[in-house]
A and B are shown apart, each in its own frame.
Chain A
Amino acid sequence: MKKIFKNEKETLAFAEKFAKKLRGGEVIALIGELGAGKTVFTKGLAKGLKIKERVQSPTFLLMKIYNVKKQKIKFLCHVDAYRLRGAAGLMDIGLLDWLGRADTVTVIEWADKVTELFRGGRVIKIKMELGKKEEERKVTINK
């Protein structure tokens, strides 16, 4: 699926709707350069999951867990691999405790840096790119 968002608001609205289709256990790989909109997309997902806390960038923190109250989904695990070179770092911080859990949706920004995690897994790959105009973004989704 390919989509073009004219601005941040459209990205947020789409991500919010996308979140409503999640059932738990999904791993969402967000791929894109600085400024492509990965964290914005995650904020939209969080809104769709009715998370009340503010979603900030986890670049320094690496991983943040949010509580969710939506049917079977209990947690959103928000990961940022920007500061890492490979998956080993994510293993160290306990990501495997959350990855693929039936009650958790995991979102990994800069997932292309940690591709070893996704061999043979059920991953939703979302690629984000800057569009032609300044506020525009191109999004490609592969399930």
Chain B
Amino acid sequence: MRILGIETSCDETSAAVAESDGRSFEVRSNVVSSQIKIHAKYGGVVPEVAARKHVEAILPVVEKALGPGGAEKIDAVAVASGPGLITSLLVGNEVAKILSWFWKKPLARINHIEAHIYANWFLNKKINFPALCLVVSGGHTELILMRGHGKHEVIGETRDDAAGECFDKTAKILGLGYPGGPAIAAVAARFKIEDLRFKIELPRPMIDTKDFDFSFSGLKTAVLYAARDLSNKYKMEEIVPAMAYEVQEAIVDVLIYKTIKAAKKYNVKTVMLAGGVSANERLRERFSGVMEKELPGVDWNVPPFEYCTDNAAMVAAAGYFHAIKKDFTPWQKLKVDPNWEL
């Protein structure tokens, strides 16, 4: 079955075609009109909102994803209808409606967070349930228990800032570039702990609470104060690499610790990552190590890099699983829900 996926929840305008024969997925195209690339031209300046860009980009992006003659081969359309920014969501959803009507093909309404989880299906490995997925990005940090397709439960989430947002804001405090996650990761990778002449202690917020929630705004202020205090005695060139390293460790510590705790409590067979922050090398590397040590019998999955940040291929994958159950929405009834909770 061949699915056209459309994703316009926030900044990215994306369309993709993915196909499954019931055993494995093949991504035939994944077009992402990346905001980051556009604005890197201007020296890494904070990007402007995408709404107008979605309108300009959506048709060329869909056309490119379909390729010449591609429209006839599509069996169903899948679109992310929330959560997200309402004006962005509307662009993708209106196009999905039109295509569904025009092609007379069914339409699957997909939750954006659910779509992130399905990026793991591009590994083409068998995924055993129950599965636990940590969805972590600039806008989201959630722990989802998945008992089966379409059977999700949010068992924990951030109380304030998302982990990706924490990377971005602490990168700003440290004078590093945008996007913050890759900037911090790059600086941290060059840091050698033996070089450290001072002690930095950043908190691991909520690491000991009994729930599976997260909190990153306190870490942001801790970085602010630590940088401020240290800059009285040391130069920024010395402080920044050490702080970048420690911030990354603090974020990674909390994410791993709580996920493992949840995995044990719910006795899951699979642990997965999803979302933009799952592209972080340090998170992947350390998580993999902890999984081997603490949960050796449990499968561990991270999506291929290109499916971690917002993209439509993952929406198409999610769409496939809705389509085989004929879980469709008539285009007349398609509605966006910016606050859609899984």
Is the Cβ of A88 less than 8 Å from the Cβ of B48?
Answer: yes
Q: How large is the interface on A (under 10, 10 to 19, 20 to 34, 35 or more residues)?
A: 20 to 34
Residues of A contacting B339 with CB < 8 Å?
A: 53, 64-65
B164 touches A92 (CB 8 A): no
Q: How far is the CA of A88 from the CA of B157 in the complex (A)?
A: 32
Assess whether B159 is interfacial by the CB under 8 Å rule: yes
Interface size class of B (residues with CB under 8 A): 35 or more
Determine if B46 is an interface residue (Cβ-Cβ < 8 Å): yes
Map CB proximity to B onto A24-57 as digits: 1 under 8 Å, 0 otherwise: 0000000000110001100000000000011011
Bound complex: CA A56 to CA B86 (Å)? 17
- CB under 8 Å from chain A, chain B span 134-190: 137-139, 157-162, 164-165, 168-169, 172-173
Contact B138 A60 (CB under 8 A): yes
Known: A62-B85, A85-B45, A134-B225. Is A34-B338 also a contact (CB below 8 A)? no
User: Hey, which chain B residues are within 8 Å of A84, CB to CB?
Assistant: 46, 48-49
Minimal Cβ-Cβ distance residue in A for B276: A60
> Quick one: given A34-B173, A56-B158, are A92 and B51 in contact (CB under 8 Å)?
yes
Chain B nearest CB, measured from A18 CB (Å): 20
From the candidates A57, A61, A82, A134, name the one contacting B85 in the complex (CB within 8 A): A61
Given A61-B10, A61-B139, A34 contacting B220 (CB threshold 8 A): yes
A68-103: contact bitstring with B at CB < 8 Å (1 yes, 0 no)? 000000000000001111001110111000000000
Is A4 positioned at the interface, with any CB of B under 8 Å from its CB?
Answer: no
- Which residues of A have CB within 8 Å of B49? 62, 83-84, 89-90, 92-93
Question: Across the interface, do A39 and B217 meet the contact criterion of CB distance under 8 Å?
Answer: yes
B165 to chain A, nearest CB (A): 5
Q: A64-B339, A88-B48, A93-B51 are in contact. Are A56 and B87 (CB under 8 A)?
A: no
Give the secondary structure class of A's interface.
loop
A53 shortest CB reach to chain B, Å: 8
- Distance (Å) between the CB of A86 and the closest chain B CB? 8
Which residue of chain B is the closest to A88 with respect to CB atoms?
Answer: B48
B220 contacts A85, CB within 8 Å?
A: no
Task: State the Cβ distance, B71 to closest chain A Cβ, in Å.
Answer: 29
Q: Are A94 and B165 neighbours in the complex by a CB distance under 8 Å?
A: no
Q: Taking CB as reference atom, which chain A residue is nearest B84?
A: A61
B211 nearest CB across to chain A (Å): 12
Interface residue B52 (Cβ < 8 Å from any Cβ of A): yes
Decide: A57 and B161 in contact? CB cutoff 8 A: yes
21 contacts between A and B (CB under 8 A): A34-B169, A34-B172, A53-B339, A56-B157, A56-B162, A57-B162, A57-B165, A57-B217, A59-B138, A60-B139, A64-B339, A65-B339, A83-B47, A83-B49, A85-B45, A88-B48, A89-B51, A92-B51, A93-B49, A93-B86, A94-B86
